[in-house]
């Protein structure tokens, strides 16, 4: 096991005995110093040879001080590490008796104990312990245990590992072996990136687990879903109480809750860790949102805080946002907000380019002005860069298919909102817009069938900018509401100001608005009633109304801008038309309703079929 972890060969000194020595022992006669001299010389030559190539682990009954001197002859001091395995004679005798096919009879053990000289140097290990614990003690003593393990060396895992390595964390990296597809993935990563030069690479889970300091800290960076359960089933038999497994993928929060219960029943910790920032965030500083037990978080926090992005005040954008599934829930909500932010930018681009006729570089210039004007965000910045990217005489964007895809987190967010009863209109529209976009072939056919002719719209760039600004506020308010509702439902006590803070840098939805949100949450849980927001909404609403009204005459789709106005109006309507819905429900299903003239909340039913006082 030690040789495996060190990636060096292993030699059993018993294999170096001359036939005459073996015959003597088989006959029950102890060897003397002369018998052992040739054997020790052969081992010494072998050790020299192995040191020329690298290193070796040799197991040997080097009973006397002079035997040890013979073994190490000509080998410089620092190259030799002595590990003395000591134990009670009865215990060792029992183990020897249990082995079969070995030339040395257990009865010879007494003669060995008789000449044994305890060592004056090196590590002394009690063999009564388990091989796993012995290995840990040895590696710890040799300062060879890694502080942190990463499982899964895909692009995110590799970049997070490089980030950890760059921050001085000693690493063990494991990637599964799949013939022809995933071979030497960890080893290749170590060879390719200087930050990983000191990391140890594994394709054996057992050796990987043995190489980690306890409590082990293991970050899983595998695909969400079954792959996480598969890895856990491999790790579980090798985990020790108190070990911490982190799932850094985009896992569903309900899976994370289930895995945490499983971990608890087995005595190890499981943290669901949302990581945002894509490839470059993982490498240069992501936002990290963890969910799980505080005692587990406190042990991994110093490492994750090192690699996380930093906020404007220099604090790490990494935090434990709550217990159990909270980390993955907020990451899911983050992605939902991301979906609507992306859709809003696509809509703004469409208005500027398709409705108003600006070519991509002009759209980029217009949007660049917006960044100077309070609307700075990572997604806006990358949009500007995309719009400026040429290919040959044209724009790269123009050869990219509009068949949008998605990996699931957006739709999970919408489903979670459905379960919790949160009016998540913006994310839902953004998700549905991707579904429609994915139906490219059908759209081509329907477009040909109707052949609508576009009209020039009466919307100004200034109005569009304010409409976009207000729609983003509504999107953020809805996303935060989703988290607040889950926090209440599951008893997570998510600190919204702290969450907004860790989203001010590193993550995909980092923006000036997020910095504002952090400050708003410092004084209120309801940002829509924060006086600054009230003022912004009041200022921007006429522009949103004019934009949406103009877009009503477009033959293109602007679901998120339109949804923003609908949502704002719905949320700011004190007495809505839903009283008619309640009456309808009561009419056909006797579902009861509450009356405004009875604030006690009593439920009423009307026999609608009796004619009553109908006019
Ligand atoms: C992030 C991103 C990241 C990933 C999304 C993409 O925060 O770093 O959100 O998690 O890019 O999962 O999601 P879709 O493929 O569903 O758009």
For ligand 1, whether the C-beta of 341 sits within 6 Å is no
Burial 112-122 (b: 16+ CB within 10 A, else e): eeeeeeeeeee
Characterize the bridge pairing of strands 217-220 and 200-202. Answer: unpaired
For residue 253, what pLDDT band results from cuts at 50, 70 and 90? Answer: very high
- pLDDT higher than threshold 80 for residue 68: yes
For residue 456, what pLDDT band results from cuts at 50, 70 and 90? Answer: confident
Give the predicted TM-score (pTM) of the model. 0.85
pLDDT digits over 415-437, tens only?
A: 999 999 999 999 999 999 999 99
Which of 271, 334, 337, 269 shows the shortest CA–CA distance to 304?
A: 271
pLDDT digits over 342-374, tens only?
A: 999 999 999 999 999 999 999 999 999 999 999
Hey, whose CA ends up nearest to atom 7 of ligand 1?
A: 276
For residue 478, what pLDDT band results from cuts at 50, 70 and 90? Answer: very high
- Please say if 407 is a catalytic residue: no
For ligand 1, whether the C-beta of 220 sits within 6 Å is no
Residue 219 Cα to ligand 1 middle (Å) = 19
Do residues 196 and 161 make contact, with C-beta atoms less than 8 angstroms apart? yes
The helix/strand/coil state of 86 is: strand
Q: Which of 187, 338, 355, 429 is catalytic?
A: 338
Please give the pLDDT value at position 614: 66
Instruction: Please count the other Cβ atoms lying within 10 Å of the Cβ belonging to residue 184.
Output: 13
d(CA 536, CA 473): 9
**How does DSSP assign 192-224, residue by residue?**
H-GGGTT-EEES-HHHHHHTBPSSPEEEE-S-S
For ligand 1, whether the C-beta of 251 sits within 6 Å is no
Q: Which of 24, 200, 217, 331 is catalytic?
A: 331
d(CA 428, CA 213): 45
CA separation (Å) from 83 to 1, 14, 58, 118, 481?
Answer: 14, 17, 10, 12, 59
d(CA 256, CA 171): 25
For ligand 1, whether the C-beta of 508 sits within 6 Å is yes
Report the alpha-carbon angle 108-112-117, nearest 5. Answer: 175
Hey, whose CA ends up nearest to atom 11 of ligand 1?
A: 278
Please give the pLDDT value at position 136: 87
Q: What is the mean pLDDT of the chain?
A: 96
pLDDT digits over 111-164, tens only?
A: 999 999 998 888 999 999 999 889 988 988 887 899 999 999 999 999 999 999
For ligand 1, whether the C-beta of 507 sits within 6 Å is yes
By the 10 Å C-beta count (0-12 exposed, 13-18 middle, 19+ buried), 401 is classed as exposed
530: tokens are: 């924060």
Q: What is the CA radius of gyration of the chain?
A: 34
Do residues 64 and 112 make contact, with C-beta atoms less than 8 angstroms apart? no
For residue 7, what pLDDT band results from cuts at 50, 70 and 90? Answer: confident
d(CA 386, CA 367): 12
**Looking at residues 598-615, what average pLDDT do you find?**
88
Whether the CA torsion 340, 341, 346, 349 is positive or negative: it is positive
Which residue out of 284, 336, 407, 499 has the highest number of ligand 1 atoms within 8 Å of its CB and is therefore the one to mutate?
A: 407
d(CA 374, CA 315): 23
d(CA 66, CA 117): 10
**Looking at residues 471-483, what average pLDDT do you find?**
98
Do residues 476 and 412 make contact, with C-beta atoms less than 8 angstroms apart? no
CA 562 to chain centroid: 34
Element (H, E) at 3: helix 2-6
**How does DSSP assign 112-142, residue by residue?**
HHHH----SSSEEEETTS-HHHHHHHHHHHT
CA 543 to chain centroid: 40
Report cis status (omega within 30 of 0) of the bond before 195.
Answer: no
CA 400 to chain centroid: 29
The helix/strand/coil state of 369 is: helix
Residue 405 Cα to ligand 1 middle (Å) = 11
pLDDT digits over 201-214, tens only?
A: 999 999 999 899 98
pLDDT digits over 218-248, tens only?
A: 999 999 899 999 999 999 999 999 999 999 9
**How does DSSP assign 414-464, residue by residue?**
HHHHHHHT---HHHHHHHHHHHHHH-HHHHHHHHHHH-PPP------HHHH
pLDDT digits over 287-315, tens only?
A: 999 999 999 999 999 999 999 999 999 99
For residue 76, what pLDDT band results from cuts at 50, 70 and 90? Answer: confident
- pLDDT higher than threshold 80 for residue 615: no
For ligand 1, whether the C-beta of 187 sits within 6 Å is no
> Where do runs of H (alpha helix) occur along 308-390?
326-350, 360-370, 378-388
For ligand 1, whether the C-beta of 484 sits within 6 Å is no
The helix/strand/coil state of 496 is: helix
The helix/strand/coil state of 182 is: strand
Atom of ligand 1 nearest to the CA of 339: 17
Residue 155 Cα to ligand 1 middle (Å) = 13
DSSP code, position 155: H
- Please say if 182 is a catalytic residue: no
For ligand 1, whether the C-beta of 335 sits within 6 Å is yes
The helix/strand/coil state of 72 is: coil
Do residues 226 and 252 make contact, with C-beta atoms less than 8 angstroms apart? no
d(CA 269, CA 246): 8
Please give the pLDDT value at position 72: 94
DSSP code, position 529: G
Please give the pLDDT value at position 411: 97
């Amino acid at each position: 096991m030690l040789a495996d972890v060190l990636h060096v060969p292993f030699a059993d000194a018993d294999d170096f005995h001359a036939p005459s020595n073996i015959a003597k022992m088989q006959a029950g006669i102890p060897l003397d110093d002369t018998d052992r001299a040739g054997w020790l010389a052969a081992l010494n030559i072998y050790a020299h040879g192995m040191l020329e190539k690298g290193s070796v682990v040799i197991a040997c009954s080097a009973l006397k001080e002079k035997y040890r001197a013979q073994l190490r002859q000509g080998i410089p001091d620092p190259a030799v590490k002595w590990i003395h395995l000591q134990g009670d004679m009865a215990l060792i005798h029992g183990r020897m008796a249990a082995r079969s096919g070995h030339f040395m009879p257990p009865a010879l053990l007494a003669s060995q104990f008789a000449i044994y000289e305890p060592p004056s140097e090196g590590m002394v290990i009690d063999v009564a312990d388990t091989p796993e614990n012995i290995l840990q003690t040895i590696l710890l003593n040799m300062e060879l245990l890694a502080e942190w393990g990463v499982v899964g060396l895909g692009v995110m895992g590799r970049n997070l590992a490089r980030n950890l390595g760059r921050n001085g964390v000693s690493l063990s990296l494991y990637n599964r072996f799949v013939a022809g597809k995933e071979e030497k993935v960890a080893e290749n990563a170590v060879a390719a990136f200087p930050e990983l030069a000191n990391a140890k690479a594994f394709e054996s889970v057992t050796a990987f687990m043995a190489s980690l300091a306890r409590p082990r800290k293991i970050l899983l960076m595998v695909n969400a879903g079954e792959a996480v359960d598969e890895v856990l089933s491999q790790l579980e038999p090798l985990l020790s109480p108190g070990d911490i497994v982190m799932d850094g993928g985009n896992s569903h929060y309900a899976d994370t809750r289930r895995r945490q219960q499983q971990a608890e029943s087995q005595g190890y910790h499981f943290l669901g860790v949302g990581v945002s920032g894509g490839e470059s965030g993982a490498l240069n500083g992501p936002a990290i949102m963890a969910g799980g037990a505080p005692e587990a978080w406190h042990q991994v926090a110093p490492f994750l805080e090192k690699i996380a992005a930093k906020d404007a005040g220099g604090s790490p954008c990494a935090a434990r946002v709550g217990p159990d599934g909270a980390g993955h829930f907020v990451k899911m909500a983050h992605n939902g907000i991301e979906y609507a932010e992306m859709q809003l930018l696509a809509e703004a681009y469409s208005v500027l380019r398709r409705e108003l006729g600006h070519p991509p570089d002009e759209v980029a210039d217009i949007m660049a002005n917006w960044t100077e004007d309070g609307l700075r965000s990572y997604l806006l910045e990358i949009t500007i860069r995309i719009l400026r990217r040429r290919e040959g005489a044209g724009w790269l964007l123009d050869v990219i298919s509009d068949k949008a895809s998605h990996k699931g987190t957006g739709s999970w967010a919408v489903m979670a909102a459905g379960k919790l009863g949160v009016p998540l209109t913006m994310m839902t529209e953004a998700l549905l817009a991707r579904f429609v976009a994915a139906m490219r072939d059908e759209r081509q056919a329907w477009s040909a069938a109707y052949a609508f002719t576009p009209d020039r719209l009466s919307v100004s760039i200034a109005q569009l900018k304010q409409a976009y600004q207000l729609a983003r506020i509504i999107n953020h308010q809805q996303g935060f509401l989703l988290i607040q509702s889950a926090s209440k439902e599951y008893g997570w006590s998510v600190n919204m100001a702290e969450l907004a803070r860790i989203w001010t840098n590193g993550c995909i939805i980092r923006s000036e608005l997020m910095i504002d949100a952090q400050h708003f949450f410092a004084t209120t849980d309801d940002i829509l009633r924060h006086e600054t927001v009230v003022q912004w909404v009041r200022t921007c609403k006429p522009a949103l109304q004019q934009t949406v009204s103009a877009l009503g005459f477009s033959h293109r789709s602007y679901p998120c801008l339109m949804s923003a106005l609908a949502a704002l109006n719905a949320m700011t309507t004190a007495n809505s038309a839903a009283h008619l819905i309640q009456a309808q429900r009561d009419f056909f299903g006797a579902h009861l309703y509450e009356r405004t003239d009875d604030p006690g909340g009593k439920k009423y039913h009307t026999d609608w079929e009796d004619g009553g006082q109908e006019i």
